[in-house]
Amino acid sequence: MNAENMDVDKYLSKNERNIINNLDIRSNLASQEQKKSRDFLNLPLKKLFQNWALNMNQIIKELTYFIANSRKFSTYFNDIDDTNRWFIGLKNFFSELIYIFIKNNRSIYFGLSLILFGFLIHIIQISS
């Protein structure tokens, strides 16, 4: 305990300190339970599929918006001799594109989609 808490503790009764400790323990347990319920590995399959569908829907919407507004990057590529602007434009383009896939813990679901897509391509290739 730091000095500030020790000053407060001398003004609290034993009952009040017990209540504060009890609330602290309950808060820690609730926080641990909340972390456990959000964990990707603890989700039931139905909830996992719902989250996957929701995230893929959001990715497709944002990719559509990104492609529709990709003209804003054309200013970086106007001058063919200014390669520094080209690199800045490419960096900005790819950073925004990658951000779409990793925003809000979507990377797990996007990676799952890539694995499923790769598996399907493999099955198609084997069966041909």
**Exposure string over 31-44, b if 16+ CB within 10 A, otherwise e:** eeeeeeeeeeeeee
Contact 74, 86 (CB under 8 A): no
**110: exposed, middle or buried (C-beta count within 10 Å: 0-12, 13-18, 19+)?**
middle
pLDDT at 61: 95
pLDDT digits (tens, 9 = 90+) for 99-117: 999 988 888 889 989 999 9
HSE-CB at 54 with a 13 A cutoff on CA atoms is: 9
E strand residue ranges, the chain: none
Prediction pTM value: 0.63
H or E stretch at 74: none
